[in-house]
Chain A
Amino acid sequence: MTEGRRALLHSALALAAAGLAAWWLPQVMELFAIINATVYIAMALLALSLALVWGFGGILCFGQAAFFGLGGYAYAVAALNLPDTTYAIPIALGVPMLAAAALGYVMFYGKVSDVYMGVITLTVTLILFNFINSTAGEEWRIGAAPLGGFNGIPTTPPLNIPGDPGTPLTPEQIFAVAIGCLAGCYVACKLILRSHFGRVVVAIRENELRAALLGYDVRLHKLAIFAIGGLMAGLAGLLFANSVFVSPTMFSLAYSGQVIIWVMVGGVGTLLGPIIGAMLLQALTSWAGTLPEINPNLILGTVLVVAVLAIPRGLQPTLAGLLRRRER
C-alpha cells in the first residue's frame, strides 16, 4: 500500500471510529464516565498537539500546558462576556495560537538553542501558573469574568447550540464534539504532514542546516508548526473547560510533565501513539488515585521507567513492528 493510501485509510478509520464512539458510548456510559471520558479526550488532544510539535517539528516544548491553559481561560473569559458561547471558540483558539507564535518568534528568530527552548517554555508556563494563581481579588476580572485565583472560574458556561444561546450542550453532546475535534485534528495532522509544508517541517527536524541550504526558511516553518501546536493545545483547553472548569492547575508543571510522558510512551514521531498513551496513562493514574496506600505519581514514574527500558521507541512503533514481523 502506498504512503498516501495508508494515510487516507488511517484518516477514514479515525473518522469512522470517532463517529461510532460519539454515537454509541453516550448510550451505554453513565454521566460521570462521559464527563471523565471528555477530559481524557481533551488530554489526548493536548498530547496530539505535542506529538506534532515535538515528534515531527523536533521542538521539545516543556510548556505545552501554557497553551492548554490559555485556551481554557480565553474560552471561559470570552464565554462569560459574550451572549453566545459559540463566539468564544475563535478567541479560545486564537489566543493560544498567537501566544505560541509570539513565543516562537522570540525563540526561533532569536536562535535560542534547544536546551534553552525547553527552559523558556517551562518558565513561561510556570509564570502563567503563578500569575493566574494570584488573581483571587475582586479587582482581577475581565468584564463579567472573575479570574478567581486558585479557585479558577467554576462558572465557566458550556458551549451552546450555535445561534441558540439558551440551549447549552449536554455533557453527551460535548463528548461528541470532543471526539469530533480529536478525530478532526488527527486527520488535519495527517494532511499537514502529507503536504509540502509538513515534509519541510520533518526535513528541518532531520537537518536544519541542509533545509536552510536548500532555501527553506527554518525559522518560519518552526514558528508555523509551533503556532499550529499552540492552537490545538488551546482547543484541548476549550474542551477541558467544557467538561470541568478552568483553574490554574491547567498551567501546572504536572500537566506539562505528564503530556511529555504520554507522548514518550505512545511513541515520539507518531500521532496515534500519543493519543493512546494519553488515554492509557490517564486511566492508570485515575485508578492509582483510588489506591489509598500508594502515590499515583510513583506508579506513573515506574511506568515511564519501564516503558523507556522495555519499549524505547514507544507503543505505536513497537506494536507496528510486531505486526509487520507477524505478517512476514
Chain B
Amino acid sequence: MTALLATEGLTMRFGGVVAVDDVSLAVAERELRCLIGPNGAGKSTFFRCLTGQYRPSAGRILWRGRDITGLEPHAIARLGIGIKTQVPSLFDGLTALEGVTLALRRRHGEREARRRARAALERLGIGELAGAQVGLLAHGQRQLVELATVVAPEPDLIILDEPTAGMSAEETAGTAALIREMSRDHAVIVVEHDMQFIRAIASRITVFHQGRVLVEDCAERVLADPRVHDVYLGRPPEARMAVPA
C-alpha cells in the first residue's frame, strides 16, 4: 500500500554540515509517529524540509506516491497537511477566533468557517479565548490556539513540532490525550523530546541521531534500546557506574 507521506534518501546540507543525511521513512494513513532525538539530531531541519520551508539538497518527499519535493509551504499545506511550528506561529494582532476562521476560509464560507472555528476552540478547551487577542495570551494558551488552527480544517496529516513546549503538566497531559484522539481520524507526526509525553502517546517512534535514523520501532522497544539511551537519554545508571573513573 502506498504510504501517505514518505521520504526517500532525504538529505539537507548547509555548506559542509549535513543536518539531515539520507533519511527514508514512511508514514501510513492514520498512523501516529513520533520523531525524537537529542538537540542537533536534525529533527527540526527534517520538519522544515517536510513543510517546504527548506528545499532538500537531495532525495524526495512523496505524498500518496506523488513527488512533492521543493513545493512551497502553501502548496504543501493545500495537499491536506496541517503544520504546527515549534515556536507558536500565530496572527498576534487577530483574535483566536479570527485566526482559526482564516484556517477554514479556503474551504468554507464565512459563517460556516466561524462555526467550525468556534467548535475547534471548544474542542481544545479554550472556547472562552475566542475573542482574546492572540498576542496577549500566555505561551501555553498560544500553543493551544495554534493546535486549534492546525486541527480545525481536518487535514489528512498533522505535523506537530514540539507541541508541548512551554506547556504546564496539565496542559501537556491534555495535549497527549488530544493527539491520541486526533490520530483516530488523521495521520499525525510529532517531533518531540519530552519523554513523558512520548510515553503518554505511546506510538511508533523514529529516533534521529546526527541527521540519520538510528532506530525505528514501537515505543516500548525504542525506550528500552541501549543505543537510544546512549545518544539521547544518557547512559543508564549501571552503565555509568561501569565506566572507570
Task: Give chain A's interface residues, CB within 8 Å of chain B.
Answer: 196, 199-200, 202-203, 205-207, 209-218
Contact = CB atoms under 8 A, between A and B. Distances in A.
Given A199-B105, A206-B94, A209-B85, 18 more contacts: A196-B105, A199-B98, A202-B94, A203-B94, A206-B90, A207-B89, A207-B92, A210-B149, A211-B74, A212-B72, A212-B74, A212-B77, A213-B83, A214-B74, A214-B106, A214-B149, A216-B74, A217-B74
Interface of B: 51, 53, 72-74, 77-78, 83, 85, 89-94, 98-99, 102-103, 105-106, 110, 149, 153
A297 B105 CA distance: 47
B90 A214 contact: no
B85 A214 contact: no
A210 B90 contact: yes
Given A212-B77, A215-B77, A207 B90 contact: yes
Nearest to B78: A215
B97 to A, nearest CB: 12
Given A196-B110, A209-B73, A209-B85, A214 B103 contact: yes
A4 to B, nearest CB: 11
Contacts of A203: 91, 94, 99, 102
A213 B110 contact: no
Contacts of B92: 206-207
A207 B87 CA distance: 12
B106 A210 contact: no
Contacts of A205: 93
A215 B110 contact: no
Nearest to B92: A206
Contacts of B98: 199
Contacts of A196: 105, 110
9 nearest A-B residue pairs (beta carbon) = A206-B91, A215-B77, A212-B73, A215-B78, A210-B89, A212-B74, A213-B83, A206-B93, A214-B103
A181 B89 CA distance: 39
Contacts of B93: 202, 205-206
Contacts of A199: 98, 102, 105
B85 to A, nearest CB: 7
Among A196, A199, A210, max chain B CB count under 10 A is at: A210
Contacts of B94: 202-203, 206
Contact of B106 (A206, A213, A215, A218): A215
A197 to B, nearest CB: 10
Nearest to A200: B102
A205 to B, nearest CB: 8
Contacts of B102: 199-200, 203, 211, 214
A216 B78 CA distance: 8
A207 B85 CA distance: 12
A209 B89 contact: yes
Contacts of A212: 72-74, 77
Among A205, A210, A211, A214, max chain B CB count under 10 A is at: A214
